[in-house]
Structure 1
Amino acid sequence: MDAVIKFTSQSQGRDRIFRATQYACALAIYLLRNHSERKDLVAKLKSLEAHMSAGRKLFRLGNTANSIEAAKRTMQLSDRVLSLCLTVANINRALYFFCDNVLWARSVGLIRNIDKERWSVNASRCYFFSLVMNLTRDIYVVLRLMLQKARDKRCRQKMDQHLSESPEVAEAVIPQLDAFIFLLLESLKSDPALALDTLKNICDLFIPLDKLGIYQSHGGVIGFCGLMSSLIGIVTLARPTLRIKP
């Protein structure tokens, strides 16, 4: 119970619960779209989804400053690739939150003379670039882990054993590809935080891709990916050991 209270007392915790609810509603709306007898339920879910989205904007009001501070910290990282990826990601995240704050101000009537659609596209574009840089970081770390695994004698023996025990696989696919997949899976298994972060970023990527028209998805995909990402976010916030660092 204490863990639940501690989690919900954090603005990030509340935001992720709201986000999970928002995308769960989106997924449910898609699944119920052809059920005319559930029209009232769908209307309620749409209303709940809209309220969750609006509520999340309040929780994100101070996140621009947090992202700027995060960018300052990541600039100090000794690994220049990580530093570049994370700094650019945090800067874009700060810009995304700024656009989001402007949209919130417009929705409550504090600002009137702005192009809502333009600001929404800009927000999605910044969010997209932030996710791309975070995914680039994930790929970089995965490749670095794979190289370490490839040099590890015990891992090489395990890989050779795997290849020798699966001759039918070796005939069906390129052995180098099988070895690559083996190293990839071993690397992800050895670092659950990295695996979760990679999966989360991939799921999140579908949202701006759809909004920007780069890759159109239906509501079910967006709802499912958003829900998966939100649940991973809840898990990593509740279990800091599963949060990728830096």
Structure 2
Amino acid sequence: MLLSIVAAAANSSATATYIKYASQLSGRDKACRFTQYFARLLAYLVTRRISLQGGKPQASTLDWLATLTKIQGTMSTTRKILRSGKFIDFFRLFVRSLYESGGDEVERLLNMGHKGGMFVFMLADTVGILHSALGLVRLRDPARVTRVAMRGWWCALACQLLAAAYQLRALMIREADVARVRRHLEKDADPMADRECVVEERLVAQRKRKAVRQVVAAALDISIPTAGLGLLGLNEGFVALAGSVTSLMGMQDILYSD
């Protein structure tokens, strides 16, 4: 009986899904990212509660806050170590984007900006972790390296947001064109052409949902470096919530990917 339960658990769809997710480095990174930002959100809520009470917080509350802060820092450091050296990959992608030809010129330039920004972000991030966590590099001004990383990340996300918005606009135009063609075909009573329009409408709708999702994710993510650079006085709770939501979105993408 016990062995049958164990066998059923080992062969269940939940176990298969977990193995598929945990076997990917990006999956583990998203899990750590969610833990990091969710702990940051909880720390913000605890701090806000203390400030609203106006009195001396209890020792248990301070211990809880210290634990959340430690989790946040540990997850951040873990993620930085896992992605150290990844700037080489983005450097290769950036160089490749320089030699791409054909296609939409705006999308090509935005893709180039995204890859270049991620290269700067990952390079500065790797240098920072070599200094702070490993002690292999000594930096005179670590805060400056952090600002460089934030600027690179902000530029990459800005290009990603603009590219997603540009694709969404093109899909909306395409959607309007297909609807106009279909109205014309309905007058001519052409069933074959009408079926082709249905297929095209479904394809455009699918791509449109994906583009909307990319716009939302990039818009939320860009709030993190924006707050880090002090460009806008964004609420700490909003930034932590944005990071938590986009982490869940990334986890969902990995789980439902082919």
Letter of the aligned partner of 2:238 in structure 1? V
The correspondence for 1:7, drawn from 21, 30, 40, is: 21
Match of 2:193 in 1: none
Q: Distance in 2 between matches of 1:128 and 1:106?
A: 22
CA shift in 2, pair 1:58/1:155, >3 Å:
farther
Match of 1:69 in 2: 92
Q: Which runs of 5+ in 2 are unaligned?
A: 1-14, 51-56, 184-203
TM-score, length-normalised on structure 2? 0.76
- The structure with the largest alpha-carbon Rg is 2
Q: Distance in 1 between matches of 2:110 and 2:68?
A: 38
Match of 1:95 in 2: 120
Q: Distance in 2 between matches of 1:145 and 1:155?
A: 15
1:237 aligns with 2:254: yes
CA contact (8 A) 1:150 1:156 kept: no
- Note the C-alpha offset of 1:151: 1.7
Aligned runs of 1:12-27 on 2, under 5 Å? Answer: 12-27=26-41
Aligned runs of 1:95-134 on 2, under 5 Å? Answer: 95-107=120-132, 108-134=134-160
Q: Tell me, what secondary structure is at the counterpart of 2:233? A: coil
CA contact (8 A) 1:142 1:188 kept: no
- Note the C-alpha offset of 1:211: 1.0
For residues 137-190 of structure 1, the C-alpha deviation after alignment (integer angstroms, 9 at most, x for no partner) is: 011101101111222236997xxxxxxxxxxxxxxxxxxxxxxxxxxxxx7775
For residues 4-41 of structure 1, the C-alpha deviation after alignment (integer angstroms, 9 at most, x for no partner) is: 11221222111111110000001101111124342211
The correspondence for 1:84, drawn from 97, 109, 113, is: 109
Match of 1:205 in 2: 222
CA shift in 2, pair 1:3/1:70, >3 Å:
farther
Match of 1:142 in 2: 168
1:59 aligns with 2:82: yes
CA shift in 2, pair 1:109/1:152, >3 Å:
same
Match of 2:10 in 1: none
Q: How many residues align?
A: 212
Q: Distance in 1 between matches of 2:224 and 2:212?
A: 20
CA contact (8 A) 1:149 1:156 kept: no
CA contact (8 A) 2:165 2:211 kept: no
